[in-house]
Structures are given as structure tokens and as C-alpha cells.
Amino acid sequence: MRTSREKVLERLREARLPPLPLPEVPASPVQFEDLPARFAQSVVDVAGSCIRVAGLAEAAAAVRALPVAQSARQIVSLLPEVVSGTLAIDSVDDPHVLEGVDLAVVPGEFGVAENGAVWLTDAVLKQRRAVLFVTQHLVLVVPARELVHTLHEAYGRILLGAPGFGLFIAGPSKTADIEQALVIGAHGARSTTVVLVG
Amino acid sequence: MNAHARAASPLVRDEARLHWHDAAVWNMRTKRDRAAHAVPDWEALRDSASRIKLHTLSRLPEYLEEFERKALALGAQVHWAADAAEHNAIVLGLLRDRGVTRLVKSKSMLTEECHLNEVLEHAGIEVIDTDLGERIVQLAHEPPSHIVLPAVHKKREEIGELFHRTIGTPAGLSDPKQLTEAARQHLRQKFMASQAGLTGVNFAVAETGGLVVCTNEGNADLGVSLPPIHIACMGLEKLVPRATDLAVFLRLLARSGTGQPITTYTSHFHGPRPGGELHIVLVDNGRSALLASETHRRALCCIRCGACMNTCPVYRRSGGHSYGTTVPGPIGSVLAPAADPERHRALPFASSLCGSCSDVCPVRIDIHGQLLAWRRELDARGLTPTAKRWGVGVASWVFQRPWLYRLSGRMVRFFGRLLPAGLLRLLSGGWGRQREVPTLPASSFREQWRRRAN
């Protein structure tokens, strides 16, 4: 008996479409003069906040001054030089344990100026990536030299294909499902603060 | 009255609600415009998106095999479903074999199309839709009325009442913030208790074997990062060839849908997470038949942004439920007759053919051209109502005889000015049901033009 796989592929082949060329995507003309300023504005546009600091020591001071950091009881930090965590992520096997996390401080690989998104991977978090979504508040620390103009540039530097998880996060979790009123904090982080360093 | 008009009449009769719905949906269109106009290479992006999709369709079997090979190498498991029933059986089988009785789902139009929830619930599995809008319509036992805003037809007070009745919120809540917070608390418990997560797929990348899922709420990510099992259900048409193609589609998708520059979470899954399982279910369910249709295959380029709904004067004034399909609005009216022409024969007529849908479509589907093509096809198959066929036949006969056309014009003007307005409204059929018949002019355009020329 033919499997569904064979059946479906055969049906598709029967369509006998004339092959069309794979288009080259033209480079985007979008180039911003002041990349960090534009990125910071884009983060605000997606309901996040952005703080620019000179170095990691200033980043530490800025994060500690955040009200969400001051009121946080459980903190997961992948950047101990910025904030020390109260929960060692390496000790967590079951991601459900992360449910009570108030604040997560994680490094972002780079930011995208056109939309305020920050690229992250689970290289360090692995099976504990749930912390990015269960935490009540999120701080992303991104080096200011690691900014790109557009998503085209972004995909030029992301290497996809190896096993793993990567994502763009643009601002806090949000919804407009009730009469299109924008509400921050649907299921994930109630706030996302991007700290731009350098 | 055709089936769509009949189904739309409850909303149309409630004038205040009709205007509220119209304005709510139009609001999304204006946001889309602002976002699109801020991107200087917007039209070039639409060109690229359209050409990438058409190329992918022209080599779909090869790309599916490449995708499958890569996904398997990453440790995912790939399942093929020829139709909805097989899709549902695969998902049910996966859950049963693993003893799953509590499943959380993020938005998937495909599982709506396949009516998966009913099948799983019938088998005793608790299925929780976790997108806020989807949860609202699930609690109300209704289908979504919009693919991006599933509960756009519901007022905040009605949602407050629904939540009070179903999840025990205090009576009288109507503040979206409070309602969203209540849903967050309610759904957090469901996320924590779930044994498996199911998501749709926005894009699948052939060259990497990866999946991309976009949400604003973070519900897809929460749903699949807590339990160890991730089931991703996708239609065959979700493929793009290269990872770099994602830039094109992601720049278009959220801007076209909600006017955001990108969704809050854009997650790229390559294989299962350590210690977990990733199952990818590839579903045909009529897509191969659509691919075989030279006229309609372009409809497979759709990325489900909802822009054609938001701009459509008929959708805005009839509501998503009036279409009786999973995907409503202009693109839904192209897709549905392909699946069941007899049942959905009214839908290609639920359009003024103004072409606004085609103008906003990020992948340049000629939606209004497709609707017109469907009208011809339905007529050729004898699926248009007798009255319409007869009426159009008479009109065609008259239009081919200029003297008769002029004579009938004169007669309509003569009697039209003589008869009382109420009777004229009756004679005008469906057209006059919600409109006043305008006063007919004393002379025709030709006559006026001739006088002007002299």
C-alpha cells in the first residue's frame, strides 16, 4: 500500500508546474544614520524600553536601579557581572521550576534597528529556555556594536541549520485581542528592557 | 438572498454594531498602511515575496523532500497527512501513545480547518487554545471570526460576561487589562499542567529543516518549552527555500497584519529541545488539488496576514462568521470553493471586486481576479442560482442589442419616476433591502452628452 507521503508527493508532481527561477532578493535600501538611536526608538515603538550605557559596570547599576529588579525575589541571570541571580539555571532540570521567576537577565546576540528585535539562542539555556517566557520581566543586554539595520542583514549573520532554538524578541508580551486595546503582558514578560552597552 | 448574505443579516440589521465592527477592522487597515508606508522598499518586498512563493510552488515536491531530510537529521519526526482525517488521527495517535490528556495549543488555522479540537476532545483529551482571542471563542463555543483577531466580533462587556460564566472572574468586568490579566492567570495554570504543546507553523525552511512560529503573546513558546512534546502542524505551502527568505516574509507579515514592525516573538525551531520530541505534521487536505489548478494555485502563496479581510468592505460589514469557513474574507472566498464548490458557492459573490484585497496582499495574490474566475467556474458548473443566471442571461441579451438597451432605459426611467418609492424598492430585489432607491434622472447619459456637445 502506498503511504500518504508517496500519495501526496505524487499528487504534487502530477501538477507538473513549469519551473520558475529562484529570485535573488535585492539588498534593502534601508540604512539608518544613527544605528543605536534608531534601534532604541524601535524598541520603544514595540512597547519595550531601552537604556544606553557606556560599559558593563554602568549596565549593572542601570539594571539594579530598575523597579522590576528591586522588587524581584527570584532572579535568573546569565550575566553575573550585571546582576547576580538567586536561582542557578544550571541546577534546573525541570523547566516548571522556573514558574516563580520574577526577572531574567540574559545576553542578546544582536539587535535589529528597523524593528527593535533582539536575537537570542538557547546555546546556554538549552532545555531551560522556558525562562525567557515564564519570567515576569525580562532584561536583554546587547552590545551597541552588535546592531544591524534590517532583517536581511540579520539573516546574513544568523547561522541556522544546527539543532537548537533561536528567536527574535521585540518588546514585552502583548495582545490586542479584546477590542484591539493594546495590553502588555499577555502570557510572557510584562516588560522587556534592552540595555545597549557601549 | 444567497447563503453569505443570509448569514450576514443578523450583523447587518444591528446598525450600531455593524459600524462598530467596520471601524474596528478598518483600524487594522490604517495601521497596516502606516507601517507599509514607512518601509521604502515595500513594493520590492512584495515582488520578492510573490516570486519566492511562486518559485517554491513550482518545485514543491523537491523542497518538501529536502525539508523532510533536514528536519529528520535534526532529530524531528515528520508525518504526512493526505487529508484532515489523517491529520487528526496522527495527532491523536501521538498523544494517546504518550498518555497525554492535557494539551495546550497556540494558533493554528490548519487545525481549525481540520476540526482537530472536536476529535481530541471526543477522545477525552483536554485541549486548551492559548491565544487570548482563540481562548475567548473556544470558551464561547464559537469559531474564530478573523484569522489574526479571532474574537474581533466580540465586545469587551460580552467577554467580561463570558469570563465570569466560564473562568469565574467577578461579574461586570469590561476593562481589557483586567480581562487579559484574568486570562493570563487562568492560562498559566493550563501551561504548567500541560503534557504536550501544539503549534501552527508560519514558515518552514527547506534548506535548514527548521520551523518559524510568530506570536505576540508568547503562548506558542510557553506551550512548547514546558512540556517535552512539541507537535507542529503545517500545510504543505508553508515552505520557503532559504533562511534568508525569512527576512522578506517577516518584514511583510506583521506590518500587513497588525501594523507592527515584527511580532513580539519570532521563534526558530531546529529539531526538538534536548530530551524532548518534535513532531512535524505535513498536511495536504486539498492543497495538491489547488496546486494543479493553473487559475487558483497562486492562492497557495497566502501567508495568513489578514490584510485582505481588514480592507474588504464586504468582510467589514458582514463579519467573519458569515463566511462559514475557517479562513473568511477575500482569500477565504477563493480557498473555500476549491475545497467544496457547492457548499461555498455564494462566497465568490461576497465581493464588490473593488480590488483592495489584491492591493494590500503582501504576496501579490490577484485575489479579486481569482474571485471573478470563481464566478465563471461556478457558473460553468451550474452552481449559480437560477435567478442570477436568468437575470444575467437577459442582461447579456439586452446589452448586445443597443436599440433594446436604449428602449429599456427609457422604460425604466419613465416607470421609475411614476411608481412610488416603496414599490421600486421591492422591485429592486436585494439591492433595495437596505437602501433608498435614488430618484431616476429624466434623461440618459447619452442624451445629456448629446445636448452638451451641441
The enclosing domain of A42 has a CATH number of: 3.40.50.10420
Q: Per-residue pLDDT for B166 more than 70?
A: yes
For residue B431, tell me if it sits in a domain: yes
Give the C-alpha separation, A114 to B157, whole Å. Answer: 37
* Predicted structure pTM score: 0.95
Domain final residue, candidates B261, B285, B309: B285
- Do residues B110 and B233 make contact, with C-beta atoms less than 8 angstroms apart? yes
Q: What share of chain A is helix, strand, coil (3-state, %, to 5)?
A: 30, 25, 45
For residue A78, tell me if it sits in a domain: yes
Beta strands in B258-352 (DSSP E): 265-270, 277-283
Torsion of CA B434, B439, B443, B448, to 10 degrees: -80
Closest CA of chain A from B133, distance in Å? 5
Q: Are residues B120 and B16 in the same domain?
A: no
Domain count, chain A: 1
For residue A70, tell me if it sits in a domain: yes
Of A8, A45, A46, A131, which to mutate for an interface test with B (greatest number of B Cβ within 10 Å)?
A8
Domain final residue, candidates B353, B380, B407: B380
Query: Which string of b and e fits B171-208 if b means at least 16 CB within 10 Å?
Result: eebeebebbbbbbbebbeebbeebbbbbbbbbbbbbbb
Give the C-alpha separation, A86 to A44, whole Å. Answer: 29
- Do residues B190 and B104 make contact, with C-beta atoms less than 8 angstroms apart? yes
For residue B409, tell me if it sits in a domain: yes
B165: three-class secondary structure by DSSP: helix
| Whole-complex ipTM | 0.97
Give the residue, B429 or A174, on which the prediction is more confident.
Answer: A174
Domain final residue, candidates B357, B380, B403: B380
Write out the residue range of the structural domain in which residue A98 sits.
30-197
For residue A162, tell me if it sits in a domain: yes
The enclosing domain of B338 has a CATH number of: 1.10.1060
Beta strands in chain A (DSSP E): 49-53, 75-77, 103-107, 110-112, 117-121, 137-143, 147-148, 164-169, 174-175, 183-184, 191-197
Give the C-alpha separation, A120 to A106, whole Å. Answer: 9
For residue A11, tell me if it sits in a domain: no
Q: Which of A140-154, B304-318, B399-413, B424-438 has the lowest mean pLDDT?
A: B424-438
Nearest neighbour of A167 by CB, restricted to B60, B226, B265: B265
For residue B303, tell me if it sits in a domain: yes
For residue B43, tell me if it sits in a domain: no
For residue B403, tell me if it sits in a domain: yes
Domain count, chain B: 3
Cell of B287: 492543497
Q: Per-residue pLDDT for B452 more than 70?
A: yes
For residue A9, tell me if it sits in a domain: no
Q: Are residues B277 and B311 in the same domain?
A: no
CB atoms B151 and A28 under 8 Å: no
Q: Are residues B367 and B399 in the same domain?
A: no
Tens of pLDDT, residue by residue over B128-160, are 999 999 999 999 999 999 999 999 999 999 999
Closest CA of chain B from A57, distance in Å? 29
Q: Where are the alpha helices (DSSP H) in A127-197?
A: 131-134, 151-157
Of A175, A190, A194, which to mutate for an interface test with B (greatest number of B Cβ within 10 Å)?
A175
The crossing angle, in degrees rounded to 10, of helices B176-193 and B132-139 is: 90
Percent of chain A at pLDDT above 70? 99
Q: Are residues B179 and B209 in the same domain?
A: yes
For residue B52, tell me if it sits in a domain: no
The crossing angle, in degrees rounded to 10, of helices B15-37 and B245-257 is: 140
- Do residues B114 and B143 make contact, with C-beta atoms less than 8 angstroms apart? no
Residue A90 sits at the chain B interface (C-beta within 8 Å) = no
Question: Chain A contacts of B66, Cβ < 8 Å?
Answer: none
Q: Are residues B303 and B442 in the same domain?
A: no
Closest CA of chain B from A110, distance in Å? 15
Q: Per-residue pLDDT for A72 more than 80?
A: yes
Write out the residue range of the structural domain in which residue B416 sits.
390-453
Q: Are residues B307 and B209 in the same domain?
A: no
What is residue A100's DSSP assignment?
G
Sign of CA dihedral B316, B318, B319, B325: negative
